[in-house]
Amino acid sequence: MDSATFERLRTIIYDSSGISLRETKEAMVSARIAKRMRALGLETHEQYLRVLEHDDGGETTRFLDVISTNVTSFFRESQHFDFLRDVLTARQRSGISKIRIWSAAASTGEEALSAAMVAWDVFGARPVDCKILATDISTRALVKAQQGIYDELQMENVPEQLRRRFFVRMRDGNVTRYRACVELMGRIVYRRLNLSRPPFPMRGPLDVVFCRNVMIYFDNEVRNRLIKEIYRLLQPGGYLFTGHAESLNSLKTDFVCIRPTIYQKH
Ligand SMILES: C[S@@+](CC[C@H](N)C(=O)[O-])C[C@H]1O[C@@H](n2cnc3c(N)ncnc32)[C@H](O)[C@@H]1O
């Protein structure tokens, strides 16, 4: 790919998602858009760029689908789920009956489902209005999230006891898959949302926000905007969890760091 085409593609990615790609990522972009080019019957990167430049949104969405990195897993960075359990238990003891959790870069849904399992464990069948909002920019990831079906490898961090309680085991020849049960899926609402473009349409106030392993792709300008909006949406005393490589140190924020990667709005 010539450098002018790559630069244009980088700009489109930044403008439409806030993702800052380094100059060294040309081979990665080239490999990931190859599939889109084949699907559209295009032979050169310049042709694909022209499609994007005259696009009404549809191809840009598919472009971001292939560019975004959707790696995730159940109970990833498990200290956040232990902390969530403590927060929900404390809320329940103080009689709070409405809880709002947001998985802000939900990818294929494992993060939101992990939070739903913790919530179910804490509240059981008690009449607590606990909802989880799962958002992502990738429509492809969200389709998988909404299906709630995972293979054996994706389920490796889910203990057998939780698999039995919350998943239906499905056999297809030699392949075993697991479908999340309606009690979990029913607590989760899935929406497409671009984190680089606040303000966001939800009303809040939120109790806990997972915004993990996505800010690494943003520059400080986009991060500052996002963190300010999360702060606005959280209720006083609410918590923000970030990924282990994402500190708020270099950002302008009123969040108080109470442990590494756990922040509170005072
Ligand atoms: C590496 S995954 C992290 C998933 C999960 N939060 C975790 O920690 O396991 C990053 C996710 O961020 C999403 N993403 C990237 N840019 C985004 C944006 N501007 N708005 C919303 N989601 C975005 C990607 O589509 C991807 O699903």
Q: What is the CATH number of the domain that holds 47?
A: 1.10.155.10
Are residues 93 and 24 both part of a single domain? no
Q: Residue 84 is part of which domain span?
A: 79-264
pLDDT at 228: 97
Domain finish residue from 45, 67, 89: 67
Is 187 noted as a catalytic residue in this protein?
no
Do 50 and 125 have their domain in common?
no
* Final residue of a structural domain among 67, 94, 122: 67
Question: Which residues of the chain carry a pLDDT beneath 50?
Answer: none
Q: Is 143 left (phi over 0), alpha (psi -120 to 50) or beta?
A: alpha
Domain count, the chain: 2
Residue 72, domain member (yes or no): no
Flag whether 73 is in a domain.
no
Cα-Cα end-to-end distance for the chain: 49
Task: Please tell me the number of Cα atoms within 13 Å of 234 on its side-chain side.
Answer: 26
136 in catalytic set: yes
Look at residue 36 in the predicted model and tell me its pLDDT.
Answer: 95
Determine the pLDDT at residue 56: 86
Strands (E), 120-187: 129-136, 149-151, 167-172, 175-180
How far apart are the C-alpha atoms of 18 and 20, rounded to whole Å? 6
In a domain, 127, yes or no: yes
90 and 33 assigned to the same domain: no
Q: In this predicted structure, what is the pLDDT of residue 191?
A: 98
Whose Cα sits closest to atom 9 in ligand 1? 72
Ligand 1 pocket, Cβ-based, cut-off 6 angstroms: 17-19, 68-72, 76, 105, 107, 111, 136-138, 141, 193-196, 212-214, 217, 243
The residue nearest atom 3 of ligand 1, judged by CA position, is 213
Position 127 scores a pLDDT of: 86
Same domain (yes/no): 160, 37: no
> 14, 47, 67 — which closes off a domain?
67
Would you state the pLDDT for residue 168? 98
Dihedral of alpha carbons 44, 50, 55, 61, sign: positive
Same domain, 217 and 164: yes
